[in-house]
Structure 1
Amino acid sequence: MVWGGTAVRVVRRRRVGGGLVSGACVLALVATVGGCGVGGGSGDVTLRLVAADYGTSSANSSEKYWANVVDAYEDAHPDVRVEVSVYSWNDVDRRVKEMVDAGDAPDMAQIGAYADYAADGLLYPADDLLSISAQADFAAQLADAGRVGGTQYGMPFAASTRLLFYNKTLFQRAGITPPTTWEELAADAAALKAEGVKYPYALPLGPEEAQAETMQWLLSGGGGYTDQAGAYAVDSPENVETFTWLRDELVGEGLTGPVAPGKLNRADAFSAFAAGEVGMLNGHPSLMRMAADKGVKFGMVPMPGVDGPTKATMGVADWMTAFKENGHGREVGEFLDFVYSEENVLAFSREYQLLPVTNSASQTMAGADTDKDLQPFLEELPLSELYPVGKTSWAAVSADVKRRIGAAVTSGGSPAGVLGKIAGTAVSAEGAASGA
């Protein structure tokens, strides 16, 4: 996931025969999915969408975004009604799973993963839904990440990349410049520590989102979760060397702050940066707003690598899926074509400080003065690598990374041993997914 939020539901009054149906539901806060009793003619279709909330409060809940989209769509399609239920990231994946398990799948679900549903034959392929122009507009690496067995089932909905954030005030006080290599990063962190900075480099390897920080470091060391053929390579020599360096040169030198990396969550690290307590950390676009709101002067640079800036950065995407259960493929496809219009993709990306998932919206954003803050992240997107979300085994591997990886950088910890255990989980999960 790339964001979080609250739980709401959006249902709009709809037009039938040119007039608004009276007494229909409007923007009601509810906890469950269900109809609001609005009737229609024999040709009417009701589509149900479950979506994640990217807002930080009721003031900018995704409820409002979807209400605008549904309003515009239903005005042009009076025979289609769209009901949207919006849940927080803490709940949305579980809610959808409960609905699917109960035989009551929504027509569409905008969630964090799709591979399990695709493997079970529950999803429409994107080819069966979207127009050729809409499908071709997806950023290539995002579309590729949405494939299972060569077929695209996950349609990217929101994207983000990572940059190294640094506190300009603390850097100026320490007399240092942003690092481009690991050696420079360690030297900068030492200078920040000498100035009394609480977290010279914040290394969040806690259970909240350890898989993200881990992947960014693996990529910066020339490795990753998988090899070039797409097979798991968690305990590769490059990955072991990366975590050995982190253990010895950062954590072992006391350069990561008072909280052990394995107990430091990403949200807490972001809050500490916004409080002026962190010199450097990996961050996504939402951190810009958090830091600016607290008056922190910050800069952003590509993640340092062994000998220079990292050649590949970590990308994250959330996914739109369409379930076959209700048989509304044609109507779902027409609605999603509208959802992925340039206007709607830009409106969503700008509201929530996220990156467009389509080429057309990305090109517009790249040339717009109003989007200057997001452009450094946008420039990283073509170079980004995503989690191996097309593997049904990824959920188990990700969970194991969250559980174990912090131990790899403790005093006396064994990077090779920890990464080896995670690699074992990957092998077992792959075997279970293939029925071996």
Structure 2
Amino acid sequence: MGGVARRDVVRAAVLGAGSAALAACGSPLDPRGAGADGEVALTVATNAVSGGKNADEADWITRWVVPRFERRKRAEGTPVRVRFAPSGVDDEQYKTKLALDLKAHAGPDVMALDGIWVGEFAQARYIRPLREVAGERAVDWAGWAQIDPKVRSLARFEGKLYGIPAGTDARLLFFHRPLFRRAGLPADWQPRSWAEVLAAARRLKRLDGVTPLQINAGTAMGEATTMQGVLPLLTGAGGRISDGERWYGDTRELRAVLGFYRDVYGAGLGDPRLQQEAKGRDKSFERFATGRLGILAEGDYFWRDVIAPKTGTAPMKGRDDEVGYALFPARAPGAGLGGRDHVSLSGGAVHVLNPHTRHPRKAFALLAALHSAAALRARLGDSAMITERDDVNDAVLDRDPMLRFAADKALPVTTFRPGLAAYPAVSLALQEATAAVVAGRSPAAAAAAYRSALKEVLDGDDRIIG
């Protein structure tokens, strides 16, 4: 991949889109910003659509958030008409469309971004800090008291808040208890080091037809490789991916991570073919659900949406009894970043305001409505997930011991990806490094190749450490 494409995904997409694509993105914001009866008109957009991608989110916004917000504003004497703009497309398509809209001073008043896009959009000047758009009301919003500073960092770039985080998650090790019993491993397994993870995988290898361990690798897995594999391991080795605007290259911590990949795939503890297939991640889910995979490194999404007994894509009727979960161990006790024994990695979406909205006060009121405790509880219904609000988590997570474990044990030791424009290209380079090791290249050679790729991404050595 060329340096320009790697260096700035948003700007490259906008510059390469052409006027035809720009015209397809919708009209600039209505100068009057008003409906037919003089109501203020606002638009909210997320990558969701009823009956399709993230349908529950689309239905929640259109059936619960919007009508209640409109009724409240009407009762206050300041009527607002809200339109939901659905997408339901590939994330990169959605991202490019928003970038085109914002470049043209068009687009929705309130929109959802992946947390790792915040810095990229901010550096391209497509979004502005929340305080600059909405004023002091954004600082004084009572909801901030319920959002942990660590979770707020999802929406923070260079010390400034650009929006409100829309939930978060955690990375854990899931293990198949019936397979552990057959291999003579404990049902309450909690590894204290990478060596203990590998030792358990070697025991599982004795079972016929079982893949001992799945740690995502390669470019076919995409960002799942970086999120579920490289970055938790790097943190567990005491390393970082970046420091401000500088990026770590060929470091001993990265070589240790790549060494772990060699130990897994070079010793037949993982299936290298899965790492090369477009549907490899889904196949790993299916293997786990059907008792053919022993240990899986994944986010809590796997528990909530994949192996959920009734609604999962690979449902496990006996999930609650058959699936164990453990914290990601550091390389050795105390060897993790900051002297940690265990680590995690978190992500999530962020809702931001269009800096060109003609009604910033009301747009912020809509933004706040999306993050009210009542709205989040309504979205969850009888289910549970880790939301951005502590008060909601306190009310709903006891329904699900695994999510309570993730919130109480994993989030305190979690880290987040850097919201910088170069990150997507850096992430791809890390994926390529793991693919090289799975294919048989030495960790040292793969780490050196990563540094060369980083030099290309960053147009030189000035911002590379190591």
In the alignment, is residue 48 of structure 1 matched against residue 43 of structure 2? Answer: yes
Higher helix share: 2
Q: Which residue in the other structure is 1:415 paired with?
A: 443
Distance 1:233 1:166 in 2: 32
**Residue 110 (structure 2) aligned to one of 100, 108, 111:** 108
Q: The residue matched to 2:351 in structure 1 has which SS?
A: strand
Go from structure 1 to structure 2 and tell me whether the alpha carbon gap of 1:86 and 1:310 turns closer, same or farther (over 3 Å shift): farther
Q: Indicate if the aligned counterparts of 2:41 and 2:81 stay in contact, CA closer than 8 A.
A: yes
Note the alpha carbon deviations across 1:34-54, whole angstroms, 9 max, x for none.
Answer: 89x994333x22111110239
CA–CA separation in structure 2 for the residues paired with 1:137 and 1:427: 41
Structural mapping, 1:20-419, within 5 Å = 39-42=35-38, 44-53=39-48, 60-67=55-62, 68-78=64-74, 79-88=79-88, 90=90, 91-112=93-114, 113-128=117-132, 129=134, 130-132=138-140, 133-177=142-186, 178-180=189-191, 181-207=193-219, 208=222, 209-212=224-227, 213-227=229-243, 231-247=246-262, 249-257=263-271, 259=273, 261-263=275-277, 265-289=280-304, 290-291=306-307, 292=309, 293-295=315-317, 296=319, 297-308=322-333, 310-348=341-379, 353-366=384-397, 369-379=398-408, 380-389=410-419, 391-411=420-440, 413-419=441-447
Deviation at 1:200, TM superposition (A): 0.5
C-alpha distance in structure 1 between counterparts of 2:439 and 2:355, whole Å:
47
Of 164-173 and 138-147, the range deviating more from structure 2: 138-147
1:268 to partner: Cα distance: 3.1
Displacement of 1:350 in angstroms is 6.2
CA separation of 1:344 and 1:120: change in aligned 2, threshold 3 A: same
> What CA distance in whole angstroms lies between the structure 2 residues aligned with 1:406 and 1:385?
24
**1:74: Cα distance to partner?**
0.7
Q: Classify 1:425/1:348 alpha carbon distance in 2 versus 1 (closer, same or farther; 3 Å).
A: farther
Q: In structure 2, the residue corresponding to 1:159 is in which secondary structure?
A: coil
- In the alignment, the residues of structure 1 paired with residue 381 and residue 249 of structure 2 have an alpha-carbon distance, to the nearest angstrom, of 35
Q: Which amino acid letter does the alignment assign opposite residue 422 of structure 2?
A: S
Deviation at 1:155, TM superposition (A): 2.6
Query: How big is the shift at 1:135?
Result: 3.4
Tell me which amino acid in the other structure corresponds to 1:84: F
Q: Secondary structure at the match of 1:165?
A: strand
Change (3 A) 1:352 1:422: farther
Q: In 2 relative to 1, CA 281–230 (structure 1 residues): closer, same or farther, beyond 3 Å? A: farther
Shift of residue 174, structure 1, vs aligned partner:
1.1
Judged with a 3 Å threshold, the aligned counterparts in structure 2 of structure 1 residues 422 and 320 are, in CA distance, closer, same or farther, namely farther
Shift of 1:360: 2.8
Asked if the contact 1:179/1:185 (under 8 Å) is kept, the reply is: no
Distance in 2, matches of 1:272 and 1:224, equals: 32
Structure 1 ranges of 4+ moved more than 6 A: 31-35
Closer, same or farther: CA 32–118 of 1 in aligned 2, 3 Å: closer
Instruction: Tell me the distance in 2 between the aligned counterparts of 1:270 and 1:310.
Output: 27
CA-CA distance at 1:56 after TM superposition: 8.9
Note if contact 2:261-2:434 (Cα within 8 Å) is conserved in structure 1. no
Q: Which amino acid aligns with 1:393?
A: A
**Map of 1:24 onto structure 2:** none
| Cα separation, partners in 2 of 1:230 and 1:219, compared to 1, 3 Å | farther
Q: Which amino acid aligns with 1:161?
A: A
- In the superposition, relative to structure 1, how do residues 253 and 58 fare at CA in structure 2: closer, same or farther (>3 Å)? closer
SS of the equivalent of 1:106 reads: coil
CA distance in 1: counterparts of 2:81 and 2:439, whole angstroms? 55
- Kept after mapping to 2: 8 A contact 1:218/1:224: yes
Distance 1:49 1:417, change over 3 A: farther
Q: How well do the aligned residues superpose, as a CA RMSD in angstroms?
A: 3.2
Distance 1:395 1:214 in 2: 14
What is the TM-score of this pair, normalised by structure 2?
Answer: 0.76
Greater shift, 164-173 or 314-323, is seen at 314-323
- Report the Cα distance in structure 2 between the residues aligned to 1:61 and 1:74, rounded to whole angstroms: 20
CA contact (8 A) 2:258 2:443 kept: yes
**Conserved 8 A contact 2:231-2:345:** yes
Task: Give distance in 1, aligned partners of 2:255 and 2:450.
Answer: 12
Deviations 1:117-176 (CA, angstroms, capped at 9, x unpaired): 212333242224325223343221222242222211143112110110000111111111
The verdict on how the C-alpha distance between 1:416 and 1:317 changes in structure 2, with shifts beyond 3 A counting, is farther
Question: Counterpart in 1 of 2:9?
Answer: none
Query: Residue 26 of structure 1 corresponds to which residue in structure 2?
Result: none
2-structure distance, mates of 1:225, 1:427: 14
Q: Is the 8 A contact 1:52 1:62 kept in 2?
A: no
Which deviates more, 315-324 or 119-128? Answer: 119-128
Unmatched tracts of structure 2, length 5 or more: 1-23, 310-314, 334-339
State the 1:306 CA deviation.
2.2
In structure 1, C-alpha distance between the alignment counterparts of 2:167 and 2:301, rounded to whole Å = 13
**1:270, CA displacement in angstroms?**
2.2
Aligned residues: 397
The whole-number CA distance in structure 1 between the counterparts of 2:258 and 2:54 is 41
Q: Which amino acid aligns with 1:108?
A: V
CA distance in 1: counterparts of 2:383 and 2:113, whole angstroms: 16
Q: Which consecutive residues of structure 1, in runs of 5 or more, have no partner in the other structure?
A: 1-30
TM-score normalised over the length of structure 1: 0.81
State the Cα distance separating 1:358 from its structure 2 match: 2.4
Q: 1:380-435 deviations in whole A, cap 9, x for unaligned? A: 1122101112x121122123233443113332x13233334434444554569x99
